[in-house]
């Protein structure tokens, strides 16, 4: 197990880049990285995966006959494929989590919308009842004023 600062020195990159690669490649999930007492260490496999991910291959060229027979070249290609798969799997997991979070938020918004619609409907009912009550009072006021006139006569 090698500390992050040492990994950065070995690979000639910054510690921030090491941490970024640890996250990008999901190395903690794969058991290639451990954190204990605020000290992060990387396994040899983790260092190799980081190193391979730094070797940016923009375009894979077809292998020649001699390269196909050279096991070290094939091994490097296989390692590159492995790193790519680890990266893609990490990205897929992150996207799945983001989708789950979005689904939860959408459901919460639907519930909020339903509550607001119910509140609006209740407000409309209360408003209509209040208007009916005011109309009844006005009608009754006319009745009482006529009743008082009859009593005074």
Please write the tens of the pLDDT for every residue from 132-145.
998 888 777 766 66
Q: State phi, psi for 32 to the nearest 5 degrees.
A: -90, -10
Question: Residue 126 corresponds to which tokens in the numbers above?
Answer: 């209360």
52, 80 contact by CB (below 8 A): yes
Please write the tens of the pLDDT for every residue from 28-58.
887 889 999 989 999 988 898 888 888 654 4
Average pLDDT value over all residues in the chain: 83
2, 11 contact by CB (below 8 A): no
Q: State phi, psi for 59 to the nearest 5 degrees.
A: -150, 125
């Amino acid at each position: 197990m090698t500390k992050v600062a040492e990994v950065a020195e070995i690979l000639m990159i910054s510690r921030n880049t090491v941490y970024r690669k640890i996250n990008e490649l999901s190395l903690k999930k794969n058991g290639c990285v451990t954190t204990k007492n605020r000290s992060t260490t990387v396994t040899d496999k983790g260092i190799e995966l980081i190193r391979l991910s730094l070797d940016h291959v923009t375009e894979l060229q077809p292998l020649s006959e001699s390269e196909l027979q050279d096991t070290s070249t094939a091994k490097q290609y296989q390692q590159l494929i492995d790193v790519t798969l680890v990266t893609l799997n990490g990205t897929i997991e992150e996207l799945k989590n983001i989708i789950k979070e979005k689904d939860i938020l959408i459901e919460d918004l639907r519930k909020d919308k339903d509550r607001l619609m119910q509140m609006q409907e209740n407000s409309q009912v209360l408003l209509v009842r209040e208007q009916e009550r005011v109309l009844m009072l006005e009608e009754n006021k006319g009745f009482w004023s006529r009743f008082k006139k009859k009593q005074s006569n």
